[in-house]
Structure 1
Amino acid sequence: MTMFTPEPMRSALPDYLRAPHPGTSDGYVVLPKSLMGAMPLAWQNALHQILAEFHQTFAHLDWPEYRVVPSRREKLVNLDEDQLAEAGYLVEIDVDGELVYRERTGRRIDNPEETEVLVSVLDPIPGEYRNANQDTPPRGFPAPPATAQAPWPRPTSPA
């Protein structure tokens, strides 16, 4: 006779967080406040409860202050000198007249055409009121009924 042993309950969250999604990296998830505030009210209330419990549970930790910089991946060969410096690289011309890419430490980059780095960009996520006058809901949000007011904020008209 074999005994039935149910599998332990497993959270889908780790798998979800390992998959590539907008605003995620290996260690962090970034949620733009403007998009969170534009979610339907039921979503905002649910997220508020979850985040409040999260912060209460981990309030005892010595949290650093985070600096979030909108960035995108670019190949080294497509960067100007300022972008290279920001990413920690430099380019020089060797004795043969060839471009040589190096890390800040001096280490030569063998395949700059294939090497991608993060460079800062202007934030493409709308601010609290930028694009808020559009009638199209953000992707993934349910469209409001034709007679209802949209769940995302609308700017007030200047007088």
Structure 2
Amino acid sequence: MSEPAPKDIHTHFGLSYANYLVMPRALLQSMPEDWQHRFVELLDQFENAFTHVDQASSYDVTPGEGRYLTEVSRPVLESLGWTVQHGADETLYYTPDGHEITGAEADVHHVLVPSADPVPHYDRGRAYIAPNL
């Protein structure tokens, strides 16, 4: 059996619009030690290659489920800061920052509905989830 062709980062992301890669620490620390060492070497190379680029000092990652805007109930949308107005001909949606979304755009617009994280906390390096190698 032949090795799969190598993929670049853009290909790995597929058709998603994701701008960031988020990986659970508990799962990373559950990989074999030699894999972790190689991974950390690559992270170090990556960080060193972009020391000249301004970057945020931290991020807030929210677990959840992406849903189409029109599939999310009004109470859930309002709890997320959205405004929903039902008109005679169409429903108007306003993002938390006031941007209006209507018509066909509402049918394809994604909303993150927060949920509990299914991956356990890393627990100061003690969490271990057996990888399926």
* Pair 1:53 & 2:45 matched: yes
Structure 1 residues 72-81 or 25-34, which shifts more? Answer: 72-81
Relative distance call for 1:63 and 1:126 in structure 2 (3 A) is same
2:68 pairs with one of 65, 75, 82: 75
Task: Specify the code of the residue in structure 2 equivalent to 1:43.
Answer: W
In the superposition, the TM-score normalised over structure 2's length comes to 0.66
- Structure 2 unaligned residues grouped into runs of 5+: 1-5
- Within 5 Å, which residues of 2 pair with 1:12-91? 12-19=7-14, 25-64=17-56, 65-76=58-69, 77-86=71-80, 89-91=82-84
Alignment RMSD: 3.2
Contact 1:100–1:109 (CA under 8 A) maintained in structure 2: yes
Provide the rounded CA distance (Å) in 1 between the counterparts of 2:7 and 2:103: 40
Q: In structure 1, how many angstroms separate the alpha carbons of the residues matched to 2:11 and 2:24?
A: 18
Per the alignment, do residues 56 and 39 of structure 1 end up closer, same or farther by CA in structure 2, a change over 3 Å counting?
same
Give aligned-pair identity as a percent. Answer: 22
CA shift for structure 1 position 107 = 3.2
Q: Distance in 1 between matches of 2:91 and 2:24?
A: 38
Q: Which has the higher helix share?
A: 2
Q: With a CA cutoff of 8 Å and minimum separation of 6, indicate the structure with the bigger relative contact order.
A: 2
Quote the offset at 1:89 in angstroms. Answer: 2.7
Equivalent AA in structure 1 for residue 119 of structure 2 = I
Contact 2:30 2:128 (C-alpha < 8 Å) held by counterparts: no
Q: Deviations over 1:111-138 (max 9, x none)?
A: 6566532222221222225xx577xx23
